[in-house]
Chain A
Amino acid sequence: MSTAAGGDGAWSAVLPNRYALALLAPLLAVLLALVVYPLGKLTVDSLTSGAGVGNYEAVLSSPAGRRALVTTILASVLVSVVAVALGGTLAWQIRVSSSRWLRGALWLAVLAPFWMGTVVKNYAIVILLSAEGPLDRALQTLGLGPVSWLYTSTAVAIGMVYTMVPYAAFALYGVFLGIDRSLLDAARGLGASRARAIAGVLLPLALPGLVAGGALVFAISLGFYVTPVLLGGAQAPFMASYIQDYIFTFYDYPIASAASVILLVVALAVLGVALALVGRGRLRRALA
């Protein structure tokens, strides 16, 4: 069976567009029905149901809404920076390590949040941070007084960093793979100290990748649900709990939809800026 190209029936090694489209159809159907349409409907609903544009006003002017939004954005920024710094350091250690054993061990650690799973990892951090838990007991024996970090924004931030370090490490490992190590050797050969070589050669070269990775981590961080719910609580409202309250406690879907659209817009804006700064290819490579 031969699938021919074009109207003149001539065969070509390149798959003709109409067959390619047919092969793409299932994915397009899934994307349109399960991503594009719901998000579009969400936006429309946020503007037409309930108070219409007033939904946004309600979210942005209410103290609860403002606090949740600001907390979420600030935490996401902080988490992005910390995750990229820690993840990047780990990724670099893995990259330059000559011991296969060490590399394997580091990958195992980096992937821990993945093989623990969403609920289990947050659960473990709850245990860690709980009053009279391991961390509290350890600090007490050191004389640093009882500390209750649970149910605070700090706890949520810690949980978020824990989840995002692997993402940052993956993205940056890919970036580091693409950087020729002999460039660093060249810098060292010219007399630069290790720190100087890293700051002057590695970081500038890795910067676009760092920006792309950071943007990705930020966008994902905005949407965190399990972490704020388990580790946050009433004192530390994040957008996720705000949204959930409005749907399941106040039965106010319009407000919830407006809040969600705000999150999406912020995420897309940051990704868009990153895209403009570093180019589509790098963003795609940071993902893969």
Chain B
Amino acid sequence: MSGARRWPDRASLADRLTAAAGGAVGAATALALLVPAVLVAVLSFSDDSFFDFPPHAWGVRQYRVLLEDPRWGQALWLSVRIALPVAALAGLVVVPMLFAVHRSRLPLRGAVQVGGLMGIVLPISAYAVAMYGLFAQVGLLGSYWGLVLAYLALAVPVTMLVTSAAMSRIPVELELAAMVAGAGRVQAWLAVTLRLLAPAIAAGAVLAFVSSLDEAVLINFLGGPGQQTLPKAILDSVRYGLDPVITAIATLLMLATSLALALASRLARGSAA
């Protein structure tokens, strides 16, 4: 910003200091945020069989070990098997809600929306214990569908945030125009609103998928001994020591997640056309 050059010299030194201070804090924070990621990625190319810093040798040992160990593939597979239905179900639950909230005058519909967002806000440890108590009672501890349901409760707010923003940007006049031209209400929704909402729905599904894949708290409380999702497998491994293979997994995960997030944001922005 050219602020310091626009205004009278009288204040320019103080202004420059302020701007510099702000810039320095911002830059330092940004670097601090990126350093851990860069560190992990760099370390993934160490050739050591035990963890040390700095690495004694460089190479692709970690990736080789990763590919040879079936444990990680199995963990990833379980994570995906849970995340896929969760993403789909979250969409099925949230999309109808969008029409109810944005196209009707149902009382308390705003409150329901806020309620739906609670999953992100409440302390997750407390929520995990609540789910533990419930699952213990109904016998869902250590069950696949139990995990899907619990993850669904957390995925719904994520999907809701993305799609609700997009829905509020679609003017109701578009549906009215379709209806005047002869379309029934549902026909107008399908032909116009849902088509325009599709990118945001896809973005919501991707984000729900990613956040389920990443979930590391509920699995500890609700998962059974044989249920090792990828985050749990990493967590367990890290608790007992720093296995350098983790750097390779972590790097690949970071890559996949950032690609997925980039895709989601492109989709979400695309629906603003």
Contacts and interface: CB of A to CB of B under 8 A. Distances in A.
A and B touch in the complex (CB under 8 A): yes
A118 B231 contact: yes
Contacts of B184: 1-3
Interface string A153-190: 00000000010010000000000000000000000110
B112 A24 contact: yes
Given A93-B26, A112-B37, 5 more contacts: A21-B106, A116-B40, A123-B40, A244-B125, A257-B133
Interface string B1-45: 101101110010011001100110110011111111101100100
B84 interface: no
A126 B121 contact: no
A35 B153 contact: yes
A141 to B, nearest CB: 12
A117 interface: yes
A62 interface: no
Interface stretch (B56-64, B65-73, B91-99, B197-205): B91-99
Contacts of B26: 89-90, 92-93, 106
B151 to A, nearest CB: 10
Contacts of B134: 37-38, 41
Interface in A209-238: 216, 219-220, 222-226, 229-230
B3 A188 contact: yes
Interface residues of B, number: 104
Nearest to A121: B36
A3 B104 CA distance: 13
Interface in A223-268: 223-226, 229-230, 239-240, 243-244, 247, 253, 256-257, 259-261, 263-264, 267
Contact of B33 (A109, A123, A133, A222): A109
25 contacts: A3-B186, A20-B100, A24-B96, A27-B116, A38-B134, A42-B130, A89-B25, A89-B29, A109-B30, A110-B30, A111-B261, A112-B34, A115-B254, A116-B37, A116-B40, A118-B214, A118-B217, A132-B53, A223-B123, A223-B127, A224-B124, A243-B126, A257-B129, A260-B129, A284-B114
B128 to A, nearest CB: 7
Contacts of B149: 34
B122 A267 contact: yes
Given A27-B93, A223-B124, A106 B30 contact: yes
A130 B54 CA distance: 12
A252 to B, nearest CB: 12
A127 interface: yes
B8 to A, nearest CB: 8
Contacts of A109: 29-31, 33-34
A194 B15 contact: yes
Interface string A123-158: 111111010111001000000000000000000000
A23 B152 contact: no
Contacts of A13: 172, 175-176, 179
Given A117-B231, A127-B39, A240-B125, A38 B130 contact: yes
B133 A41 contact: yes
A107 to B, nearest CB: 9
Given A38-B134, A39-B130, A194-B3, A21 B187 contact: no
Interface in A10-39: 13-17, 19-21, 23-24, 26-28, 30-31, 34-35, 37-39
